C-alpha cells in the first residue's frame, strides 16, 4: 500500500494492522524478512496442533480439532479473523460464491446467522467472521499480529517450533498451514514506478475511505479484482483508463437481497444442501448435463444457455454441457453465446473489439470467469477508456503517469494495481518453512510444487496444508473444499494418535505419482493452452505447471480417504 509516490507494498508484504486509520491512511505494512524472535513476546505457546492463518481454513481447523478434544492454537498475521476478507477492502470487493453455500458448516453458527445478499460483500463477510468468533470464542486460542518467519522440525522431540517476526515462539506436534490461496500480492517490476508522484494502490492493500471522485485514475488489470474495482471507480472518477492484456469472460452475477424469512425457511434443508455440495465437483449441487454442446439442437442449446445465464453465478459455466473444457468446437459455441450476451450491453464497437473480440483470445472456462453486476455498462460510459496492452505495452511510469509503447503519455492522479497474487505457493514459500534437513520450502519448490494429495509434503513430518496447491482449490467453492480437507487432516491425526504414532510423512514417490496423476487429468482438455494464475504463469520466473486437481471435490475426497486406509503413500513412525 502506498500513496504520494511511496511504494512500500512492492515487496509483496500485506498490511498487518487494523481497520482504517484516523488519518485515513492504509494499514501499516510490516516486513517479514527480519530475523525470527524478539523480546516483545516471550510467552511459549504450546499445543497439540498449531494452525497458521485465521481465515476460513484456520477457523475450520480450530473448530474441528476442538471437537476432537485436542488443544489447538492459531497464529495470524492480521489483527482479526477473516483471511482474504480481512485484507480485501477495495471498492466493490465481494465473494463470487453464493449464499447459502459460501459459509462454514458449523451448526451453532448456521442457526444464528443470516446473510443480507446472495453474494455478500467484504464488510458483511467480516461481520460473519466476527459472529463465528463470538459464537465459538475463537479468540482465546488465537494470536494476532504474528507473522510467521521461521518453522523448524525437531526430530528428537518430534515437535515443530514456529517463530514470528513479533517474537512469538510456538511448539506443537502437528502443524497445519492455513495460509490461503491468494494472500501474497504481486506487483510487476514496472520501470519508473518509484518515480511516479501520484497515488498508487494495490488492490490487496487498500485504504477504505479513499475516493476517486474528481480524479483521473489508471487501472492496470482485468481479472476478477479489476472487474469489481472498475464497476465502482468508473461511476465516481472523472476519468478511468483500464490497461489490460486480455479480457476476462465475465458472467452475470444476478445479485439480489436475501430476507431473513426466506433463510429461516431454508435452514431445515441446509444440511442436505451442504452434503450435496460436498458430493459435487465444485461445491455447488449443479452438475452439467450428461451431453455435449453439439449433441442437442441449436434451439435446445440456446434455451439451456439462456436459462443458465439468467440463473446467474457460475451456473452458465458449471451447469450446462459436459464437453466445454475438452472440445474446441463446443468451446467456441459457448464463447460465441457469451460474446453475444456481452455485446448486447457493451455497445461501443471499439470496446467490443478489446473486451469481446470475434475470435476468442483463449478457451472459455480455462481461466477464472469473474462475476459482474454492471461491468459492461460502466465500460460503456464516456469517461471510461480502454487501452489494449497487447497492442501497445506499458513502456514506463513517469512522474505524472505512464507511457505506452506507442509513445502515448497518460497522466493520472492515481494508479490502481489490480495485478494479482503469487497464488497457491506464494504464502507457503515466504514463511521460513524448512524440512527436516533444514532446507527451505522456497528452494525445494523452486523447480515446481510437490505435494501428496495437496495435503502433505515429503520431508515435512506432521505438517499439513489446507486450501492448498494440487487440490481442487481454485476450481471449488472455498468453504466446501476447506471443510473436506480440514476434516481429512483431523481424521488423519486422530487415527495417528489412536495408533500411537509419533510422526507421519509423505513418501517422495507418492508426490511424484500425485503430480503425474494431476497432469494426466489435463490430457485431452483445453486447460494447458491458457496462461493464468491457475498455472503460475502470471509470475515471472515461476514454473508454469498444473496446480489443480480437476476431478472435483467428490472424487478428491474419495482419493484422500482411500489413501488413509493403510497409510498408502505415507511413512508412519510409531
CA dihedral (300, 304, 307, 313) in degrees, to 10, reads: -170
In the sheet with 394-398, reading across from the earlier edge strand, the strands are 394-398, 401-404, 409-411
| The pLDDT value given to residue 574 | 95
> Whats the size of the chain, residue-wise?
574
Tell me whether residue 101 is in a domain.
yes
Q: What is the pLDDT along the chain (574 residues), one digit of tens a residue?
A: 333 333 333 333 333 222 322 233 333 323 233 333 333 577 899 999 999 999 999 999 999 999 999 999 999 999 999 999 999 999 999 999 999 999 999 999 999 999 999 999 999 999 999 999 999 999 999 999 999 999 999 999 999 999 999 999 999 999 999 999 988 999 999 999 999 999 999 999 998 789 999 999 999 999 999 999 999 999 999 999 999 999 999 999 999 999 999 999 999 999 999 999 999 999 998 877 899 999 999 999 999 999 999 999 999 999 999 999 999 999 999 999 999 999 999 999 999 999 999 999 999 999 999 999 999 999 999 999 999 999 999 999 999 999 999 999 999 999 999 999 999 999 999 999 999 999 999 999 999 999 999 999 999 999 999 999 999 999 999 999 999 999 999 999 999 999 999 999 999 999 999 999 999 999 999 999 999 999 999 999 999 999 999 999 999 999 999 999 999 999 999 9
Angle at 199 between CA 197 and CA 201, to 5 degrees: 135
Tell me whether residue 531 is in a domain.
yes
CB 506 within 8 A of CB 457: yes
Cβ contacts of 358 within 8 Å, gap of 6 or more: 339
Q: What is the DSSP string of 234-268?
A: TTTBSEEEEEESS----EE----B--HHHHHHHGG
Looking at residue 499, what DSSP letter applies? T
- Cα separation, 255 vs 311, in Å, equals 10
| The pLDDT value given to residue 23 | 30
Tell me whether residue 496 is in a domain.
yes
- Contacts of residues 391-398 at CB distance under 8 Å and 24 or more positions apart, as own/partner, are 394/190, 394/220, 394/243, 395/191, 396/190, 396/191, 396/192, 397/190, 397/191, 397/192, 397/193, 397/195, 397/196, 398/192, 398/195, 398/196
CA dihedral (207, 213, 214, 220) in degrees, to 10, reads: 60
- Cα separation, 544 vs 540, in Å, equals 10
- Cα separation, 162 vs 149, in Å, equals 8
Longest pairwise C-alpha distance within the chain: 72
Number of domains in the chain: 1
Tell me whether residue 230 is in a domain.
no
| The pLDDT value given to residue 286 | 81
**Phi, psi (deg, nearest 5) at residue 539:** -110, 115
- Cα separation, 384 vs 238, in Å, equals 9
- Cα separation, 135 vs 567, in Å, equals 36
Q: What sign for the dihedral angle of Cα 19, 25, 26, 27?
A: negative
Tell me whether residue 238 is in a domain.
no
C-alpha cell at 108: 451453532
Q: What is the DSSP string of 142-191?
A: EE-S--EEEEEEETTTTEEEEEETTS-EEEEEEEEE---SS-SB-----T
CB 401 within 8 A of CB 196: yes
CB 166 within 8 A of CB 147: yes
Query: In Å, what is the CA distance from 441 to each residue of 103, 113, 459?
Result: 31, 39, 10
Tell me whether residue 342 is in a domain.
no
- Cα separation, 132 vs 123, in Å, equals 14
Cβ contacts of 69 within 8 Å, gap of 6 or more: none
Tell me whether residue 223 is in a domain.
no
- Cα separation, 423 vs 426, in Å, equals 6
- Contacts of residues 296-302 at CB distance under 8 Å and 24 or more positions apart, as own/partner, are 301/333, 302/337
Element (H, E) at 411: strand 409-411
Tell me whether residue 4 is in a domain.
no
Owning domain of residue 127: 44-184+423-573
- Cα separation, 305 vs 324, in Å, equals 13
- Cα separation, 523 vs 69, in Å, equals 44
* CATH code of the domain covering residue 173: 3.50.50.60
CB 146 within 8 A of CB 164: yes
Element (H, E) at 60: helix 56-67
Amino acid at each position: 500500500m502506498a500513496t504520494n509516490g511511496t511504494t512500500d507494498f512492492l515487496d509483496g508484504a500485506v498490511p498487518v494492522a487494523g481497520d482504517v486509520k484516523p488519518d485515513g491512511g492504509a494499514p501499516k505494512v510490516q516486513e517479514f524478512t527480519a530475523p525470527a524472535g524478539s523480546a516483545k513476546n516471550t510467552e511459549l505457546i504450546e499445543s497439540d496442533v498449531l494452525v497458521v492463518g485465521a481465515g476460513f481454513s484456520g477457523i475450520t481447523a480450530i473448530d474441528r480439532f476442538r471437537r476432537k478434544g485436542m488443544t489447538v492454537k492459531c497464529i495470524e498475521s492480521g489483527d482479526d479473523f477473516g483471511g482474504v476478507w480481512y485484507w480485501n477492502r477495495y471498492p466493490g470487493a465481494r465473494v463470487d460464491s453464493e449464499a447459502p453455500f459460501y459459509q462454514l458448516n458449523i451448526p451453532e453458527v448456521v442457526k444464528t446467522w443470516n446473510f443480507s445478499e446472495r453474494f455478500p460483500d467484504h464488510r458483511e463477510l467480516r461481520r460473519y467472521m466476527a459472529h463465528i468468533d463470538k459464537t465459538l470464542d475463537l479468540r482465546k486460542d488465537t494470536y494476532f499480529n504474528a507473522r510467521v518467519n521461521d518453522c523448524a522440525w525437531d526430530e528428537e522431540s518430534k515437535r515443530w517450533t514456529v517463530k514470528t517476526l513479533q517474537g512469538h515462539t510456538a511448539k506443537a506436534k502437528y502443524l497445519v498451514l492455513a495460509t490461503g490461496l491468494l494472500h501474497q500480492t504481486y506487483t510487476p517490476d514496472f520501470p519508473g514506478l518509484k518515480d511516479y508522484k501520484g497515488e498508487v494502490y494495490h488492490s490487496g492493500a487498500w485504504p477504505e475511505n479513499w475516493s476517486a471522485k474528481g480524479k483521473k485514475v489508471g487501472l492496470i488489470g482485468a481479472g476478477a479484482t479489476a472487474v469489481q474495482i472498475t464497476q465502482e471507480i468508473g461511476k465516481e472518477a472523472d476519468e478511468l483508463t483500464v490497461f489490460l492484456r486480455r479480457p476476462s469472460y465475465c458472467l452475470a452475477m444476478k445479485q439480489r437481497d436475501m430476507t431473513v424469512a426466506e433463510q429461516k425457511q431454508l435452514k431445515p434443508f441446509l444440511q442436505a444442501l451442504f452434503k450435496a455440495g460436498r458430493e459435487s465437483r465444485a461445491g455447488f449441487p449443479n452438475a452439467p448435463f450428461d451431453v455435449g454442446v453439439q449433441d442437442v439442437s441449436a434451439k435446445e442449446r440456446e434455451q439451456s444457455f439462456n436459462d443458465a445465464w439468467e440463473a446467474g453465478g457460475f451456473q452458465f459455466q458449471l451447469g450446462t454441457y459436459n464437453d466445454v473444457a475438452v472440445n474446441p468446437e463446443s468451446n467456441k459455441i459457448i464463447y460465441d453465446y457469451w460474446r453475444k450476451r456481452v455485446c448486447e450491453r457493451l455497445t461501443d464497437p471499439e470496446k467490443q473489439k478489446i473486451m469481446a473480440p470475434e475470435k476468442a483470445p483463449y478457451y472459455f472456462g480455462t481461466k477464472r470467469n469473474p462475476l459482474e453486476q454492471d461491468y459492461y455498462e460502466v465500460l460503456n460510459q464516456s469517461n471510461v477508456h480502454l487501452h489494449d496492452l497487447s497492442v501497445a505495452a506499458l513502456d514506463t511510469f513517469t512522474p505524472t503517469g505512464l507511457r505506452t509503447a506507442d509513445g502515448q503519455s497518460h497522466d493520472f492522479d492515481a494508479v490502481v494495481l489490480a495485478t494479482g497474487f503469487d497464488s497457491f505457493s506464494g504464502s507457503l514459500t515466504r514463511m521460513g518453512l524448512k524440512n527436516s534437513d533444514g532446507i527451505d520450502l522456497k528452494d525445494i519448490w523452486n523447480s515446481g510444487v510437490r505435494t501428496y494429495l495437496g495435503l502433505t509434503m515429503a520431508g515435512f513430518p506432521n505438517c499439513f496444508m489446507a486450501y492448498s496447491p494440487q487440490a481442487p482449490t481454485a476450481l471449488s467453492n472455498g468453504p466446501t473444499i476447506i471443510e473436506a480437507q480440514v476434516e481429512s487432516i483431523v481424521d488423519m491425526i486422530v487415527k495417528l494418535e489412536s495408533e500411537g504414532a509419533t510422526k507421519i510423512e509423505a513418501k517422495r514417490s507418492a508426490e511424484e505419482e500425485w503430480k503425474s496423476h494431476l497432469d494426466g487429468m489435463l490430457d485431452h482438455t483445453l486447460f494447458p493452452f491458457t496462461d493464468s494464475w491457475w498455472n503460475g504463469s502470471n509470475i515471472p520466473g515461476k514454473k508454469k505447471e498444473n496446480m489443480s486437481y480437476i476431478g472435483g471435490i467428490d472424487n478428491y475426497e474419495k482419493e484422500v480417504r482411500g489413501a488413509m486406509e493403510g497409510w498408502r503413500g505415507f511413512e508412519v513412525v510409531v
